[in-house]
Amino acid sequence: MAPGTIADESLANKQKHIVEVSGDNDSVPSLYRNVDNATLQAKASRYLFNYGTKFMPDVICGSKGMYVYTASGHKVLDWTSGQMSCLLGHGHPEIVKTIADHAAGLDHLFSGMVSPPVISLGERLCSLLPDGLDKAFFLSTGGESNEAALKMAKVFTGKFELVALGASWHGVTAQALGTQYHFGRKGQGPLMPGMHMLPAPNAYRSVFRKPDGSYDWEAELDYGWNLIDQASCGSLAAVIVECIQSSAGMHVLPPGYLKALKKHCERRGMLLIVDEAQTGVGRCGDIMAIIHEEVVPDILTLSKTLGNGLPLSAVVTSAEIESVCAERDYCFYTTHVNDPLPAAVGDKVLEIIVRDNLVAHSRALGTLLHKGLRDLQSQYECIGDVRGRGLMAGVEIVADRTTKQPALELARAIGDRAYELGVWANLSSHPSFGGTFRIAPPVTITEEQLREGLRILGEAFKSTPGTMPL
């Protein structure tokens, strides 16, 4: 592509831009071509607010299927599904058609109106869930759905204290942030009152060990609840939890943990809220991660994967909770609640997942992914741990397997090299992430694409100094 600038072009011309990228017999359409990366980055630095992350050096000008494309024409396998959201890949033709049809014919309505795609999504979603998850409504983001769920728990129970896990990530609105112990709590004064934290169930690093050295999560969980019971003012309303703590580094709840957590909730008259933002809709080898755990929460929240990259989230609960909350004037009335266009997309996502048997596909390809990552672990001593389930995986980079000392700089170097070679596997250099790659490709990925990604990742380890080949 010839370098150029869009600085002096009219808005009409800007809207006609396409990026043309060759390779693997595809030419990927986008809104932009002939753009100059340095010029755009300079404008980004001048005009865009830093909301808590540094922008990557490359401006992304196209996305299609499993890949994203940079302004310079670099083609990168997207192993994080955007922000863990494009479950079916970028630009899925049926999703594109659904968006176009509803943008033209049924896009946005007054919040008190209801429409066929919202009704259809509610029916399809609830029919895929266990009894007790019978009523749904739809919002825009995961943080918003968690905010709504936490408020619902408070209204239903008449209590106000909330419990979450250490290293959790549930959103940046007030109540959701109060239950978020990974990052983002500082700099704003007091958070919501009544917030409590259980120890993060980190099987790799927890100090709670049985005599044989295995992880004693039961003792850790009981210890955490003992502290909360001492700190509580007697108004415990709900626990919110992720089945796989993604932002914490892809830590999977130990088998039996969620069942034990629900029993703790029942003993204290609390509700259990499960946040399936990333684990839901088939990614982990079950339609929802709670199916794997054989636990029915009182409230389920969804986002990310449900909208395939569009802003769509859901709150699902029982008819009993809905009835009581309605009697008590529960209100979560927003501009985009139950909007038809994103609901139509969510309905199409669920239809495709079931129709194309993508849950089983995710389970099978997940087995291949984890085998490939463990093969790499057997070759490089810097890989301290490989964990996850289905098409969600974490790869933790350490300086020493015995001490488990994090190797943040090495992890960054491996991640940069992988990106250079053509795979994007999300890695935050922030110390709270501990140098862990978070891998979550679209569930439509093929075996060939998965093997290609593993090959590239292996080349990144091989060509990065300090990976300690075995």
Which one of 262, 283, 304, 348 is the catalytic residue?
304
User: Number of helices and strands (H, E) in the chain?
Assistant: 15, 18
- Identify whether 438 is a catalytic site residue: yes
Domain boundaries, the chain: 1-70, 96-355, 357-470
Which one of 175, 180, 245, 278 is the catalytic residue?
278
Residue 32 structure tokens: 């932009």
Per the CB < 8 A criterion, the answer to whether 380 and 468 are in contact is: yes
Between helix 447-462 and helix 358-377 the angle, nearest 10°, is 20
For tokens 């029919």, what's the residue? 127
Q: Is the pLDDT of residue 141 over 60?
A: yes
Q: What pLDDT does 407 receive?
A: 94
Q: What pLDDT does 456 receive?
A: 96
What distance in Å separates the CA atoms of residue 329 and residue 317, rounded to the nearest whole number?
16
- Identify whether 75 is a catalytic site residue: no
Phi, psi of 19 (to 5 degrees): -105, 130
- Identify whether 377 is a catalytic site residue: no
Query: What's the full length of the chain, in residues?
Result: 470
- Superfamily assignment of 357-470 in CATH? Aspartate Aminotransferase, domain 1 (3.90.1150.10)
Q: Which pLDDT band holds residue 356 (cuts at 50, 70, 90)?
A: very high
What distance in Å separates the CA atoms of residue 299 and residue 174, rounded to the nearest whole number?
19
- Identify whether 225 is a catalytic site residue: no
Which one of 147, 220, 242, 385 is the catalytic residue?
242
- 3-class secondary-structure state, position 292: helix
Architecture of domain 96-355: 3-Layer(aba) Sandwich (3.40)
| Other C-beta atoms lying within 10 Å of the C-beta of residue 106 | 16
Which one of 262, 283, 417, 438 is the catalytic residue?
438
Q: What pLDDT does 174 receive?
A: 87
Q: What pLDDT does 430 receive?
A: 57
Which one of 220, 275, 293, 339 is the catalytic residue?
275
Structure-derived torsion over alpha carbons of residues 81, 87, 90, 96, reported in degrees to the nearest 10 = -150
pLDDT digits (tens, 9 = 90+) for 98-127: 999 999 999 999 999 999 999 999 999 999
- Identify whether 275 is a catalytic site residue: yes
What distance in Å separates the CA atoms of residue 322 and residue 113, rounded to the nearest whole number?
19
Which one of 144, 147, 161, 169 is the catalytic residue?
169
- Identify whether 371 is a catalytic site residue: no
| Mean pLDDT estimate for the chain | 91
Angle at 241 between CA 237 and CA 244, to 5 degrees: 175
Residue 284 structure tokens: 């982990």
pLDDT digits (tens, 9 = 90+) for 36-68: 889 999 999 999 998 888 888 899 989 999 999
Average the pLDDT over 378-400 and give the result: 97
Q: What pLDDT does 332 receive?
A: 96
